[in-house]
Amino acid sequence: MMDKGITLADIGSPRRTKDIIQKHGFALKKSLGQNFLIDRNILNKIVGAAELDSGKGALEIGPGIGALTEQLAQTAGKVVAVEIDQRLIPILEEVLEPYDNVDVVHSDVLKVDLQGLFAEHFAGVEGVSVVANLPYYITTPIVMRFLEEKLPLDNIVIMIQKEVAERMAAKPGGKEYGSLSIAVQYYCEPEMVTIVPQTVFIPQPNVDSAVIRLRVRKEPPVQVKDESFFFEVIRSSFAQRRKTLYNNLASRFFNKETKPALEGILTGCGIEPSRRGETLSLEEYAKLSDALQEALGGA
């Protein structure tokens, strides 16, 4: 396939990326996390991890100049790319012109009506995955928005800062394990796909990156009576990492008079009060959240 004399499937090559940027006089904005991918091997790994086929859809966040979008368009049945930067819209329309299965939406992914977007663009599609080289400054709010809205997703395959990927995949006991690990693992099964060197971007970021696949669960692995209280308990348990679980929970949920009950609640769940939040498993948090809620009169 040819596009004005240029071979397709190469937006992500260093040469073509530079040509597109130069032709449009585009100045990359650091504040929007604009580090564009210029490595075919990494692009292939991202797309491969999303397990797409011609019946499936891909939602890309932040297409930039379309390097990943083009690979997705060649693999998925339908691609929707949400880009915040108005200056990139005409560029995307031009470079993606040969593909009739791509819709570019000019919007902020944190504000766009995701349910409406799914209904409008993915009707009749068998399964949708989020696939993105994310703007790192808002990785966590983006991922949490997709998970909390309970969109019908198969996978979330994202390039993110390596440390954040490690936190998402962390198991109890280590220093990376925290409220992000638990929230992500409640909704998904995380799996590291690959570590990515800084040299595959223009311009190069100051941090190391990783691609992670979050396979979205059909059902959470634990049942809780009240999801929002469960997450509140988790956040409170990590409020001050040096404090014990007992002290963190006491400052959030108890006063002087009610505090003596906490020890019994914890031991009743088989949890030593002197443990720290980072040692508890998802199952233990589920048990603790239900017991605390009952004791506090919320059940």
Q: Is 133 labeled as ligand-binding?
A: yes
- Enter the DSSP assignment of 209: E
What does the alpha-carbon distance between residue 158 and residue 160 come to, in Å, rounded to a whole number? 6
Please give the structure tokens belonging to residue 201: 């971007």
Is residue 117 involved in binding ligand SAM (CB under 6 A)? no
For ligand SAM, which residue of 9, 32, 144, 222 counts as binding (CB under 6 A)?
A: 32
CA 79, CA 87: separation in Å to the nearest integer? 20
Choosing from 64, 178, 190, 277, the residue that interacts with ligand SAM (CB under 6 A) is 64
According to CB under 6 A, which one of 52, 71, 72, 85 is a site residue for ligand SAM?
A: 85
Q: Nearest approach, Cβ of 83 to ligand SAM (angstroms)? A: 5
Kindly state whether residue 61 participates in binding ligand SAM, applying the rule CB under 6 A: yes
Tokens of 33: 């996390």
Q: Is 67 in the site for ligand SAM (CB under 6 A)?
A: yes
Sign of CA dihedral 280, 286, 288, 293: positive
What are the phi and psi torsion angles at 298 (to 5°)?
-95, -5
By CB under 6 A, is residue 37 in contact with ligand SAM?
A: yes
How is 82-110 classified by DSSP, letter by letter?
EE--TTHHHHHHHHTTT-TTEEEEES-TT
Q: Which stretch binds ligand SAM (CB under 6 A): 35-43, 47-55, 263-271, 283-291?
A: 35-43
What is the nearest approach in angstroms of ligand SAM to the Cβ of residue 22? 16
CA 291, 294, 297, 299 dihedral sign is: positive
Interaction between residue 135 and ligand SAM (CB under 6 A) = yes
- Is 35 near ligand SAM (CB under 6 A)? yes
Closest CA to 82 of 74, 73, 95, 92: 92
Based on the shown chain and the rule CB under 6 A, indicate whether residue 84 belongs to the binding site for ligand SAM: yes
3-class secondary structure, 3: strand
Q: Residue 34: phi, psi to the nearest 5?
A: -85, 85
Q: E strands, 4-115, where? A: 6-7, 36-37, 57-61, 78-83, 102-106
Is residue 109 a contact point for ligand SAM (CB under 6 A)?
yes
What does the alpha-carbon distance between residue 277 and residue 235 come to, in Å, rounded to a whole number? 9
Nearer of residues 30 and 171 to ligand SAM, judged by Cβ: 30
**Host H or E run for residue 129:** strand 128-133
Q: How many residues bind ligand SAM (CB under 6 A)?
A: 23
Only segment of 57-65, 114-122, 220-228, 229-237 that touches ligand SAM (CB under 6 A): 57-65
Task: Tell me if 133 contacts ligand SAM by CB under 6 A.
Answer: yes
Task: Mark the segment that binds ligand SAM (CB under 6 A) among 55-63, 163-171, 217-225, 254-262.
Answer: 55-63
For position 49 contacting ligand SAM by CB under 6 A, the verdict is: no
- Work out which of 50, 52, 68, 216 binds ligand SAM, going by CB under 6 A: 68
| Member of 83, 278, 284, 290 binding ligand SAM (CB under 6 A) | 83
Annotated binding site for S-adenosyl-L-methionine: 35, 37, 62, 83, 108, 133
Instruction: Give contact residues for ligand SAM (rule: CB under 6 A).
Output: 32-37, 61-64, 67-68, 82-85, 88, 108-110, 133, 135, 138
